[in-house]
Amino acid sequence: MPKLKCLNKILMMGLTIVAAIVFSLTVNAQTAKQHKYVIIGYVGGYHGLVDTTMVHPSKLNVINYAFVDVKNNRAFLTNLKTDTINFQYLLNLKKINPDLKVVISIGGWGWSRNFSDAVLSDTARQAFVASAIVLVRKYHLDGIDIDWEYPGMIGAGNIYRDSDKHNYTLMFRDLRHGLDSVEEETGKRMLLSAAVGGFKTFLLHTEMGKVAQYLNYVNLMTYDYSHGDSVAIHHTNLFASKQYSSNEYAATAVTDFESAGVPANKLVMGIAFYGHSVKVIDNEQHGLGAKVVGGRIQIGGGYTFIKDSLINKKGFKYYKDKNAMAPYLYNADTKQFISFDDEWSVKNKCRYVHENDMAGVMFWEYSSDKKEYLLDEIDNDL
């Protein structure tokens, strides 16, 4: 009897351990599912043929193909020959990652001129929506991203009206209806997203609380904050800097969009794979906050070039603004200031995404960091 009791005790202990392991695995699996963050990468088809050997689909959930133009109230492929080849190349990446989504992004800075006309009336809007849905069906794509820069505001010389505010909402309502029809026909999940200005003025010209109900993701363009500024500032900082005065930075964009009615779990943090460079008037504060005197450019070669060729090289010294969670370079001899995202700032942005229950991150754009320094950081963090 004592031996039998001992064997029973051992058996019960074994069953308890197995049950504990199963429970632990189940909890971990559920936790992993709950914390699945989206990683969206913009791929620039306007460059011509895409080098898909540089794209690693295992590190992405969604590819937003940029850009489809708007012409005569229609979604329009301006580079039909290369666009169609690019679609096939990108869709072939699903052989590596079957869950990858390939989405067309309509608009962009240089292709937003005709949005206002395209959604001005019910007839125009329905024609535009129908043409976009045709592209999705014809090329077996997974959805639509709208990058209207900007409704109700001037962008790169685009047409704009006060009526854009409500028409922007109606456009997404009708796009969602069209994509739902495709979803029913194909059984494939269809995505609808918006790339939006990461600043408060954008919210004054849109009804984002209403728009959000139709969207899977709201891609915050939390970069280019330095565009047109008279002093050298960060172009993609997470928080406010104490070295200059500005109300535009990523964290405030998140809270502003939430206040406007956009759920945090639809908000996607924008990351810049490129840098901005300006020349300043003096060497105070290592250029940060100094008056700009010219030379404003986007750094060719993006972050790969910045990391490999400029950080603590060629007279440039690397600095961290720990209040803003933003790095920068400064060359005291040439008085050149460069703002960008690096692994440190990306890690902090991903932590912010975790802590604030956001949907994930997106980046502009793939070819600006061909060695994938920043994408690897995102992949590790999310």
Please report, to the nearest 10 degrees, the dihedral formed by the alpha carbons of residues 85, 90, 95, 100 taken in order.
-150
Specify which residues 218 forms β-bridges with: 194, 267
- Which regions of 11-61 does DSSP assign to beta strands (E)? 38-44
CA distance 287 to 338: 9
150 cis-preceded (ω within 30 degrees of 0): yes
Q: Which of 40, 37, 168 is nearest to 105 (CA)?
A: 40
User: Catalytic residues, which ones?
Assistant: 149
Q: Which of 299, 304, 377 is nearest to 338 (CA)?
A: 299
- Which regions of the chain does DSSP assign to beta strands (E)? 38-44, 62-71, 74-76, 101-107, 143-147, 191-197, 217-221, 267-272, 276-280, 292-298, 316-321, 326-331, 336-339, 360-364
Can you tell me which residue has the tokens 């456009």? 171
